[in-house]
Structure 1
Amino acid sequence: MSRPGRRWALLALGGGGLLGLPGCGFRPLYAPVTAEDGGSADIRDALAAVRVANIPERSGQLLRRDLQRRFEGVRLGVPARYSLQVAVTYAVEPLGYRRDGTITRLRYIATGNWTLATLAVPPRQIAASAIPARALDSFNIPDLQFFAADSARDAMEARLVDQLAEDIFRRVALELRRERQQRSAAAG
């Protein structure tokens, strides 16, 4: 088979595989809830209606800012309907040592437990993290380069917060989608 013929054959096989995805139950996370799911609205308005409560300490402030960008940035101007409470804990593990026993590499592990509730009175809990969101990252501690060590730690903290925010955002989006499907099924 000629090279262009192989390309078309591979494209046809790949496209055929993609056409079979809806039959297996796969649906894009942000796609509209289809008629077979029981509705016609998508979850972007629900995501934009989530407000993130204060999270203590500097890393908590960075996480809150990142989560706010993800939720409120989906659609601007949507009134608040949900409150997201996040509790973050950090653990540090030394990974590398020099011969004299000084540490050369550290791993940080961030764990985030979250709760999503309505802002109604009284609030109704929509979802909570059964398994905490978790992110880990590490950085090297260079010899006698304190600025470089601080810079490496700051970069690692930014990556860690970004990973944790993405994990929490996806889990909350899945829960909002599930809650919307259940409401649609109950109404129909």
Structure 2
Amino acid sequence: MLCLLMLPACGYQPLHGANTPAAQQLSLVQVNNIPNRLGQQLRNSLIDRFYIDGRPVSPEYTLDVALNPSVIKLGIAVDDSATRAELNVLATYTLRNAQGAAVLSGTTTSVSNFNILRSQYATLIGEQDAYDRSVAQLSEDITRRLSLFFNRDPVTASAS
């Protein structure tokens, strides 16, 4: 109990809680369309994370994301068929201010695995689950990186 009482005194503060500078700035980011189904899923996940009270009326930032997924077959069986696959999704993102200048850019990668089974349906479900896990990982990582950017110096971040 004593540790919980001393926790606020150590300078700990949430990264993107309801009343942090990051939460206020994230709600001003317009997430642009991302091509393909995977891009739609990532965009929806980012929108769910960014907007507390609905989409911004006059966004101060725009976020562009490009995705590059690839599937690598692993675990080769005796008959030369693959039994396992690795899904790599590379996301390149750019945060631009209202003037269109890039204020933050970077890349993040998600790696998920799935089994290749005799049943095509089971393999399809496993692959879709790997894509869903990748979207969740990418969304969390992009949100974390933008939150760190906005929490560094919110005045400088909004002036950029």
TM-score range for the pair, normalised by the shorter chain length: 0.7 to 0.9
Between the aligned partners of 1:94 and 1:64, the Cα distance in structure 2 is: 27
Between the aligned partners of 2:116 and 2:101, the Cα distance in structure 1 is: 46
Q: Is residue 133 from structure 1 mapped to residue 89 from structure 2 by the alignment?
A: no
Between the aligned partners of 1:77 and 1:86, the Cα distance in structure 2 is: 18
Aligned to 2:145: 171
Quick one: higher RCO (CA 8 Å, sep 6+), 1 or 2? 2
Aligned to 1:87: 66
CA contact (8 A) 2:150 2:157 kept: no
CA deviation after TM superposition for structure 1 residue 85, in Å: 0.5
CA contact (8 A) 1:45 1:75 kept: no
Cα deviation code 1:40-81 (max 9, x no counterpart): xx3322111111111112211111111111112x23253222
Change in Cα spacing, 1:182 to 1:27, as seen in structure 2 (3 Å) is: farther
CA deviation after TM superposition for structure 1 residue 17, in Å: 6.9
More strand by share: 2
TM-score scaled to structure 2, two decimals?
Answer: 0.84
Q: Is residue 64 from structure 1 mapped to residue 43 from structure 2 by the alignment?
A: yes
CA contact (8 A) 1:116 1:126 kept: yes
Change in Cα spacing, 1:169 to 1:183, as seen in structure 2 (3 Å) is: closer
Aligned to 1:28: 14
Q: Percent identity?
A: 30
Between the aligned partners of 2:65 and 2:40, the Cα distance in structure 1 is: 11
CA deviation after TM superposition for structure 1 residue 160, in Å: 0.8
Structure 2: 5+ residue stretches without partners: none
Which residues of 2 match residues 81-160 of structure 1 at below 5 A? 81-118=60-97, 120=98, 122-129=99-106, 132-143=107-118, 145-160=119-134
Between the aligned partners of 2:145 and 2:132, the Cα distance in structure 1 is: 20
Q: Is residue 75 from structure 1 mapped to residue 53 from structure 2 by the alignment?
A: yes
Change in Cα spacing, 1:77 to 1:59, as seen in structure 2 (3 Å) is: closer
Match of 1:18 among 1, 4, 7: 7
Change in Cα spacing, 1:92 to 1:71, as seen in structure 2 (3 Å) is: same
TM-score scaled to structure 1, two decimals?
Answer: 0.73
CA deviation after TM superposition for structure 1 residue 86, in Å: 0.6
CA deviation after TM superposition for structure 1 residue 123, in Å: 1.8
Structure 1: 5+ residue stretches without partners: 1-10, 34-41
Change in Cα spacing, 1:29 to 1:146, as seen in structure 2 (3 Å) is: same
Between the aligned partners of 2:89 and 2:157, the Cα distance in structure 1 is: 33
CA deviation after TM superposition for structure 1 residue 100, in Å: 0.8
- The amino acid of 1:169's aligned partner reads T
Aligned to 1:38: none
CA contact (8 A) 1:106 1:139 kept: yes
